[in-house]
Amino acid sequence: MGSVFSAALWRHVLFEEISGEYCSLSGGDFDKIHFKQCSVTNSSFSDCKWKQVQFDKTDLTSCEFLHTSLKGVDLRDCQLNGIRLAGPELRGAMVTSLQAVELSRFLGLEINDDPIICKVRHDFRSRNPS
């Protein structure tokens, strides 16, 4: 069961160790908000406006961030598996290299670690006959 807080105005709020799965926070206006050691899996943060939002050790698995900029948001110690967004929302977000691999699918990248075999063909015949 989730809660609906759509289009809510949030100012100077600390969410600490909150279990907020399946919440709808869409259209919210967030300023100086801190999510600390929370679980908000399967929640929606779509169409949100925020300034100074901080996520520390927060589980964002399968959360939706459509049309919500993550610019300047540090997500390095958060769980991001299965998040839903279009791609541009990631511009300027801070993530680890492992998270970047997971998020690369939003950029249309295909990662393939199969070895690459390069074939080089060289014509040893002289082009200038003597």
Average pLDDT over residues 99-112: 83
Position 128 scores a pLDDT of 61
Q: Looking at the domain assignment, is residue 46 inside a domain? A: yes
Assess if residue 69 is contained within a domain: yes
Strands (E) located in the chain: 9-16, 29-36, 49-56
Burial class (CB in 10 A: 0-12, 13-18, 19+), 63: buried
Q: Is residue 114 part of a domain?
A: no
Tell which residue, 45, 99, 100, has the closest CA to residue 68. Answer: 45
Backbone angles phi, psi at 9, to 5 degrees: -105, 120
CATH number, domain of 45, equals 2.160.20.80
**Portion of the chain with pLDDT greater than 70, in percent:** 88
Q: How many domains is the chain partitioned into structurally?
A: 1
Two structure tokens written together for 93: 């977000």
Domain that holds residue 69: 9-107
Residue 35 located in a structural domain: yes
Residue 31 forms part of a structural domain: yes
113 within a domain of the structure (yes/no): no
Domain assignment present for 51: yes
What's this model's pTM, rounded to 2 decimal places?
Answer: 0.81
Q: Which residue has the tokens 């943060």?
A: 45
